[in-house]
Structure 1
Amino acid sequence: MDSNEVDGRVHDLPSATSATQLRKVALSSLLGTALEYYDFLLYSTMAALVFGDVFFPGESQAVSTIAAFGTLAVGYVARPLGGILFGHFGDRFGRKHILIVTMALMGVASVLIGLLPSYAAIGVTAPILLIVLRILQGVAVGGEWGGAALMVVEHADAENRGKWAGIMNLGSPLGFLMSTVAVALVTLLPDESLQSWGWRIPFLFSALLVVVGLYVRSRVTESPVFQQAAERAETEKPERTPLSRLIRSPRPVLLACAAGIAPFALTALMTSHIIAYATGIGYDKSEVIRVLILLSVVALVAIPLASTLSDRIGRRTVVFIGATGAIIFAFPLYMLINTGSIALMAGGLVIAQIFQNMMFAPLVPLLSEMFGTTVRYTGASLGYQGASLIGAGFTPLIASVLLAGFGGSSVPLSLIIVITAGISIGALTMIKETRGRDLNTIDVEPSPAHPSADISAQ
């Protein structure tokens, strides 16, 4: 890959033969991410619908739901661990092969969840095994995002990274759409059938999806940016592991994590938690699921638009607009939901979805451009998965506890949006605009005398 200098900035230029390969890479990352998030988010929906009764039966429905959301949080806790584990090997040995491993791991864990006996069949062993498999799901997703993001970003030219990253980013709403449609179909079954065997079908179906994804993923080439870094590393091997270098200079990881908290918190409230909340105030379960399908369709349009916009006006600007909109709309959102009108609820959630997409879409190029090549997989993964853990991992659980503690008032839910968006805005003020950075930047070891000369791509 060649480079050119425009307006004082170095820009990567793709070779003439790279366009076809770039499309293959983007498609591979889209399909792989969609399959990963189908499995991961399917669990979230089932936790709200059936897992409380199947794996955590009790006299109180609220307690069972809280317990089910607790296992949901476990998966998010495991995501940074996956980012560290697979990020280490991805930074050392390449992106492509690690992505095959993460997809296979997710497929195995999801199929086993679909085969897992209930609490009524094997007692406490059932929820224990469920937690173990949820951890494996979290580890797989934690390693998936960074590799899929970097494969696209490191193949693309600097002026269009956002556009191509937007295609990969569609994997999240596409995976959610697939999982929601799967859930919508099985919820047509009688409740007794859904509880006993119907919920298992979407998990077992993931086996077929993973086979397709593995085939597509095996046919792409390794990241050219990583290959160049690997060639340099033959004579310039770093003395420390990617993780140890990030620990010595943690500022970029902490800022990346804080910048991504708001979109994850908002999406957790609008997907996992909204089912329990809306049905609790009188909405029909099938109506809520149809609204969630609508939100996925909105995201399929809004995410690529916001990603492309970040190529024009900057990553920080797009995220800032989305976070500001989320703060302004936090209280009106739940006022619309609380009317009991499905049309008003849908309208409010669509507006919130657009703000969420504006915060979420630029994260792939933003976080990727914040780190040098030999720590990029680990650094971007830790920032993104840390944000997902803090923003989404515990939000449904915390929201359920606050609802119970405040007599069902939605005010704490709006405050969650305001606080998390405020955190993201604060982080953005301390991050320099990354649009157009040269991804071939050689990493600089941190120095106490020059704290700004860290492992981020300056």
Structure 2
Amino acid sequence: MSSLPAAGIPTSQRRIAFATIIGTTIEWYDFFIYATSAGLVFAQLFFQPAGEDIALLLSLATVGISFLFRPLGAFLAGHFGDIIGRRAMLVITLVLMGAATTLIGVLPAFAQIGIAAPILLLLLRILQGLSAGGEWGGAVLMAVEHAPAHRRGRAGSWPQLGVPLGFLLASGMTALMTGVISPGEEYLQWGWRVPFLVSVVLIVVGFVIRRSVEESPVFAEMAERGKQTHAPIVALFKHHWPLVILAALVFVGNSTLGYMTTGGFLNNYAIAEQHLDTTAVLVAAAVAAVVWFFSTLLAGVLADAIGRRSTFLIGFCLQAVVVFPIFWLVDTGGLPGLYAALVLISTGLGLTYGPLAAWYSEIFPASMRFSGVSVTYAIGAVLGGAFAPMISQMLLEATGTTAAVSCYLLLTTLLGAAATLCLRDRTGIPLGPDHEAEQASGATVFAPREAADELSGKR
């Protein structure tokens, strides 16, 4: 698309990279600080009257319930993002997430206000889910639609880095607090609140940075020509619902395993079942986030070199190999075993997360792309990561063995790999509004053969 301005200018690319990485890091820090606290303190502070085991399940369930509202956030952000622009939605979702996180930091516990405490906690978690549902689509489109075709994989990995960075920041902050304050009475009283209140400063920084970037050139061209779709969600499900389901299942294969760490299950298992030190476990999680960061960067490079689909399949193969050993390592290796398990998980996660932004952006038409990537990602999160910690805890309690959890992780990994095989690699396809017909055809292996041949010929 020749009319896109300055897609390859290094200064512009650096500015977009910085804005998307900083913004998504802050968003996911807010999201993960909740998940980390859910495994450590929320059961005791907000759900204790239900009894120890049920309280933990309820606490982990609130992590998952917010995912049910991510599709709604994705619907809203996708609708308005395809109509009023990508940048505006990025700013709105950032402020919404920050407000919810800060309010959790000042929320009274069950001992102070009774049943209102868990109800308010759940409502604020729902606000986080709405924000997270709208955040991802805008961030990845700002990155990918600004990038030249041969660098979309790397550009798409920029907002993906916000997830491991946000997890690193959340784990690091919690580890700092549990290290400075003994994870006992003082931490339960006020120490856990500090990481939530820090969000105020982060949101101000993110707001200023995101306001400074230019609108996506693809959306700017659509707006100039008046080519926005007035009901993008309706058009998406009318014409592309099989594609939405298949692409969502790809993310299921990643997010289920991912939420073993970010959702708090593996951390809580290491602390509660293997009696490892809380701060040491959180430090291990932070180290794993660093590995996840670099494997995500590597995946972006690989996606440009060998294609999105091939990179995903390599990552899913690695995931399938490690789902049983990770628990064996934690059970028998103590803290070094936990480090090894988290490194193995993080390497596979990066390879199945880094290329996601570019691939999703290339399979949906420009006029409904924000809706497509946002809704697909949210559905994948609900079907995969949403209740993965709670399901894993239930399987562990019902069977008394982590083998059941490993089987569950293997099943979702194979499901993601199968969905990957059903999609075609669309590396380099033009993203602008002049190529809607080409973008709307040939994304799955079930599309007419001639559509795929035509697409291949044009490239």
Task: Please give the range of the TM-score, normalised by the shorter of the 2 chains.
Answer: over 0.9
2:286 is the counterpart of 1:293: yes
- Residues 345-399 of structure 1, C-alpha deviations (whole Å, 9 max, x = no match): 2112212210111011111101111101111111001111111111111000101
| Contact 2:294/2:350 (8 A) holds in 1 | no
Question: For residue 12 of structure 2, what is the aligned residue in structure 1?
Answer: 21
Question: For residue 2 of structure 1, what is the aligned residue in structure 2?
Answer: 2
| Contact 2:365/2:440 (8 A) holds in 1 | no
Following the alignment from structure 2 to structure 1, what is the Cα–Cα distance between the partners of residues 252 and 228? Answer: 34
Following the alignment from structure 1 to structure 2, what is the Cα–Cα distance between the partners of residues 64 and 399? Answer: 15
1:201-280 correspondence runs (5 A)? 201-232=194-225, 234=226, 236=227, 238=229, 241-249=231-239, 250-271=241-262, 272-279=264-271, 280=273
Equivalent residue for 2:430, pick from 433, 438, 457: 438
| Contact 1:80/1:382 (8 A) holds in 2 | yes
SS in structure 1 at match of 2:363: coil
| Contact 1:283/1:340 (8 A) holds in 2 | no
Percent of pairs identical after alignment? 37
RMSD: 2.0
| Contact 2:47/2:58 (8 A) holds in 1 | yes
Aligned-residue offset at 1:168: 2.0
Residues 196 and 91 of structure 1, relative CA distance in 2, 3 Å threshold: same
User: Normalising by the residue count of structure 2, what TM-score does the alignment of the two structures yield?
Assistant: 0.92
Following the alignment from structure 2 to structure 1, what is the Cα–Cα distance between the partners of residues 365 and 62? Answer: 35
Report the count of equivalent residues. 440
Following the alignment from structure 1 to structure 2, what is the Cα–Cα distance between the partners of residues 372 and 231? Answer: 17
Question: For residue 49 of structure 2, what is the aligned residue in structure 1?
Answer: 58
Following the alignment from structure 1 to structure 2, what is the Cα–Cα distance between the partners of residues 91 and 431? Answer: 24
Question: For residue 420 of structure 2, what is the aligned residue in structure 1?
Answer: 428
2:104 is the counterpart of 1:113: yes
Following the alignment from structure 1 to structure 2, what is the Cα–Cα distance between the partners of residues 284 and 413? Answer: 23
1:376-395 correspondence runs (5 A)? 376-395=369-388
Residues 299 and 14 of structure 1, relative CA distance in 2, 3 Å threshold: farther
| Contact 1:109/1:133 (8 A) holds in 2 | yes
Following the alignment from structure 1 to structure 2, what is the Cα–Cα distance between the partners of residues 237 and 176? Answer: 35
1:56-455 correspondence runs (5 A)? 56-58=47-49, 60-188=51-179, 189-190=181-182, 191-232=184-225, 234=226, 236=227, 238=229, 241-249=231-239, 250-271=241-262, 272-279=264-271, 280-407=273-400, 409-441=401-433, 442-444=435-437, 452=447
| Contact 1:25/1:152 (8 A) holds in 2 | yes
Aligned-residue offset at 1:452: 4.6
Following the alignment from structure 2 to structure 1, what is the Cα–Cα distance between the partners of residues 224 and 330? Answer: 56
**Bigger Cα displacement from structure 2, 188-197 vs 25-34:** 188-197
Residues 2 and 298 of structure 1, relative CA distance in 2, 3 Å threshold: same
| Contact 1:248/1:446 (8 A) holds in 2 | no
| Contact 1:259/1:428 (8 A) holds in 2 | yes
Following the alignment from structure 1 to structure 2, what is the Cα–Cα distance between the partners of residues 18 and 226? Answer: 18
SS in structure 2 at match of 1:269: coil
- Residues 46-101 of structure 1, C-alpha deviations (whole Å, 9 max, x = no match): 00000001110136322111000111111111111111101100001110111111
> Which sections of structure 1, spanning at least 5 residues, go unmatched?
4-12
- Residues 163-199 of structure 1, C-alpha deviations (whole Å, 9 max, x = no match): 1222221111111111111101111313111111111
Residues 333 and 14 of structure 1, relative CA distance in 2, 3 Å threshold: farther
| Contact 1:173/1:299 (8 A) holds in 2 | yes
2:27 is the counterpart of 1:36: yes
Question: For residue 10 of structure 1, what is the aligned residue in structure 2?
Answer: none
User: Normalising by the residue count of structure 1, what TM-score does the alignment of the two structures yield?
Assistant: 0.92
> Which sections of structure 2, spanning at least 5 residues, go unmatched?
none
